[in-house]
């Protein structure tokens, strides 16, 4: 193991213990959170010419209010001509939408002159939409006319972030994952002519970056945060696999309670099982690429169960799908497309970790990319 690998492994163990560097219990929590966020969540850049060829970075923000849920995904990646392609994906689910319940979305590309993503900073701007950070406060401005969607939201972090470095993706490829698992969102969301007032809704944010190709790797990933009336709990899980899904590269379940990372379960401590297969009509984003994926067959499970057990305790998370959309992106390994399936659903969590009983019922999000 190299010195860099030992340092990275030590960093991952330290974060798994919920003890970010330089933090003391005597300091105000808001200052601790602001310091953690500043050290974990900022715009990255490729560190070599070789890494730049396949470098990707995206920030995923979600607000899961009982009346309306939305996702904004700001991404940047190297285009075949060597330029940087900027893209914003927006998803919205509302039972009060004129077209009825369901998950709808759109994807929009932006020229570089209409974007801001300065390295080492937190600012993200694409057209009229932006995400800014000041201390523990994130501000999301989202304008998406194709969805009749407009949001003005303040998201305040109430739990410390966790950062997982150097998740291996084979053949020298790797990605990194910075998770801000619990935020409370307040503001307004306008959708399809109706304005929703959002007060202390559960929210989530993460950042992913690294050098790899769509088509080389598959994954299952999701998260859940308790509603405003629930316990101060949040969970996130991920499973990375090779393209054939015959080998699990790495998997983890992270559990937060209050402001701290309560427990982390990894690899053999985690079991992920699925049941059923969604075969209903699914919205394709962008719609023009629906011709590339005819038919209704998908790899989207109706139910997902994540079970984790170790000396720290045992936790079981159950996810039941309620709404799904499909995002199609070019496959970077071979001709064709890679489908990214996004689902909202109901989540139930039960168990005990580090002496803390866990019982949570709420809404969650599940993403699967099965190359």
> pLDDT band at residue 21, thresholds of 50, 70 and 90?
very low
pLDDT score of 153 more than 60: yes
**pLDDT for position 371:** 65
194-211 and 173-191 beta bridge pairing: antiparallel
Structural domains of the chain, count:
1
| CATH for 176 | 2.40.370.10
Q: Using alpha carbons, select from 231, 172, 241, 195 the residue that is nearest to residue 351.
A: 231
**pLDDT for position 27:** 59
**pLDDT for position 226:** 92
| Mean predicted confidence (pLDDT) in 148-165 | 94
Predicted TM-score of the model (pTM) = 0.87
pLDDT score of 4 more than 50: no
> pLDDT band at residue 8, thresholds of 50, 70 and 90?
very low
What is d(CA 284, CA 301) in angstroms, rounded to the nearest whole number?
17
| Mean predicted confidence (pLDDT) in 307-335 | 90
Which tens digits make up the pLDDT trace of 261-273?
A: 999 999 999 999 9
pLDDT score of 119 more than 60: yes
SS3 content of the chain, % helix, strand, coil (to 5): 10, 60, 30
- Domain span at 56: 3-369
**pLDDT for position 258:** 94
State the chain's mean pLDDT as an integer.
86
> pLDDT band at residue 339, thresholds of 50, 70 and 90?
confident
pLDDT score of 18 more than 70: no
234 vs 81, which has greater pLDDT? Answer: 234
**pLDDT for position 332:** 72
Which tens digits make up the pLDDT trace of 217-276?
A: 889 999 999 998 899 999 999 999 988 888 898 999 999 999 999 999 999 999 999 999
- Helices and strands: H and E segment counts in the chain: 3, 22
pLDDT score of 22 more than 50: no
251 vs 80, which has greater pLDDT? Answer: 251
Report residue 362 as tokens.
Answer: 């709420």
Four-point Cα dihedral 93, 95, 98, 99, nearest 10? 70
- Within 8 A by CB and 6+ apart from 173, the residues are 54, 210, 211, 212, 213, 216, 217
**pLDDT over 70 percentage in the chain:** 89
What is d(CA 360, CA 350) in angstroms, rounded to the nearest whole number?
7
| Mean predicted confidence (pLDDT) in 207-220 | 86
Chain-centre distance of CA 103, in angstroms? 17
| Mean predicted confidence (pLDDT) in 48-56 | 84
Which tens digits make up the pLDDT trace of 35-49?
A: 787 778 889 888 888
**pLDDT for position 186:** 97
**pLDDT for position 324:** 93
Residue 149, CA atoms < 13 Å, CB-side half-sphere: 25
pLDDT score of 134 more than 70: yes
54 vs 15, which has greater pLDDT? Answer: 54
Q: Point out which residues pair with 183 in neighbouring strands.
A: 157, 203
What is d(CA 166, CA 12) in angstroms, rounded to the nearest whole number?
10
């Amino acid at each position: 193991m190299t010195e860099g690998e030992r340092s990275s492994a030590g960093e991952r163990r330290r974060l798994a213990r919920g003890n970010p560097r330089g933090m003391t219990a005597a300091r105000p929590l808001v200052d601790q959170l602001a310091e953690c966020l500043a050290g974990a969540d900022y715009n990255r850049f490729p560190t070599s010419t070789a890494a730049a060829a396949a470098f990707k970075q995206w920030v995923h923000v979600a607000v899961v209010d009982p009346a309306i849920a939305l996702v904004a995904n700001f991404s940047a990646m190297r285009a075949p001509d060597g330029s940087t392609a900027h893209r914003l994906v927006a998803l919205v689910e509302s039972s009060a939408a004129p077209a009825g319940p369901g998950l709808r979305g759109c994807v929009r590309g932006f020229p570089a002159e209409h974007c801001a993503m300065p390295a080492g900073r937190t600012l993200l701007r694409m057209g009229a939409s932006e995400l800014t950070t000041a201390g523990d406060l994130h501000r999301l401005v989202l304008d998406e006319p194709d969805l009749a969607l407009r949001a003005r939201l303040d998201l305040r972090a109430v739990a410390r972030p966790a950062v997982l470095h150097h998740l291996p993706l084979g053949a020298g490829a790797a990605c990194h994952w910075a998770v801000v698992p619990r935020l409370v969102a307040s503001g307004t969301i306008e959708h399809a002519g109706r304005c929703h007032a959002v007060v202390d809704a559960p929210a989530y944010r993460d950042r992913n970056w690294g050098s790899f190709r769509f088509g080389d790797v598959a994954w299952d990933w999701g998260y859940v945060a308790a509603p405003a009336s629930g316990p101060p709990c949040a969970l996130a899980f991920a499973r990375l696999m090779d393209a054939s899904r015959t080998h699990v590269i790495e998997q983890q379940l992270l559990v937060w309670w209050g402001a701290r990372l309560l427990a982390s379960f990894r690899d053999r401590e985690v079991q992920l099982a699925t049941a059923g297969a969604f075969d209903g009509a699914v919205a394709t984003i962008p719609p023009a690429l629906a011709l590339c994926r005819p038919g209704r067959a998908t790899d989207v499970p109706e139910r997902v169960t994540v079970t984790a057990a170790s000396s720290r305790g045992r936790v079981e998370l159950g996810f039941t799908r309620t709404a799904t959309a499909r995002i199609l992106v070019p496959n970077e390994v071979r001709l064709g497309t890679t489908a990214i399936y996004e689902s909202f659903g109901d989540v139930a969590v039960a168990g005990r970790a580090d002496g803390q009983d866990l019982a949570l019922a709420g809404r969650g999000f599940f993403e699967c990319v099965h190359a």
